[in-house]
Amino acid sequence: MWSLTDESLLAGLASGDHKAATAFVRRYQGRVYGLALTILRDPATAEEVAQETFLKAWRHAAAFDARRGSVPTWLLSIARNVAIDVVRSRRQEPLDPEALAALRGSPTQEGPGEERVQVDDRERLRAALAELPEEQRRALVLASFYGRSAREIGDMEGIPLGTAKTRIRAGMIKMRAALEVTNE
């Protein structure tokens, strides 16, 4: 199971294979729980979200479309959406400065089944995120991790809607440029 590609494991999940499911959970639990914890800051809730994420992955594995991205990003999108639903329903203050620092901080390590090229992408993204002006970085994190709209970001940061939109747009375009350079 350990040397299987992400797609093979997911295919195992899609066919109801519990061994594949266990290996799948083991491979991604750190990422899924880590993202949930980054968003929610509460271990108990983060675990609930992580469990709900794997349940959804189990149910919807057959619907994965490799053209849309990799297995980890598919899984993390699920986790992000589940976490955002929780954040919205609990109305908690989402942006913990520690969370922001964590996104810039930890060294990137190759996970099992992960190719070197993916790790390099992450490094470039992390570097690009670190280079953004502080206000653009905050806007991007609020949008991508906490699902905040431009209007909500404007309210939270005390800026006009147009400014919030500009910060999001500028940040995203810079991040895309950082990735594109490597994909040529």
82 binds another protein (CB under 8 A): no
Q: How far is the CB of 16 from another protein (least distance, A)?
A: 4
136 binds another protein (CB under 8 A): no
168 binds another protein (CB under 8 A): yes
Alpha-carbon torsion 64, 178, 169, 83, what sign? positive
76 binds another protein (CB under 8 A): yes
Q: How far is the CB of 1 from another protein (least distance, A)?
A: 13
The DSSP code for 3 is T
74 binds another protein (CB under 8 A): yes
78 binds another protein (CB under 8 A): yes
131 binds another protein (CB under 8 A): no
- CA torsion 51-52-57-59 (nearest 10°) is 120
| Residue selected from 9, 37, 87, 132 as contacting another protein according to rule CB under 8 A | 37
| Residue selected from 8, 51, 92, 163 as contacting another protein according to rule CB under 8 A | 51
DSSP states of 63-118: G--GGG--HHHHHHHHHHHHHHHHHHHHT-----HHHHHHHHHSPP-PPTT--HHH
Q: How far is the CB of 94 from another protein (least distance, A)?
A: 13
| Residue selected from 4, 41, 147, 157 as contacting another protein according to rule CB under 8 A | 147
Q: How far is the CB of 106 from another protein (least distance, A)?
A: 4
Cβ-proximal residues to 107 (8 Å cutoff; 6+ apart), any chain:
none
Alpha-carbon torsion 140, 141, 146, 148, what sign? negative
- CA torsion 9-29-131-70 (nearest 10°) is 20
Helix (H) or strand (E) holding 147: none
12 binds another protein (CB under 8 A): no
41 binds another protein (CB under 8 A): no
62 binds another protein (CB under 8 A): yes
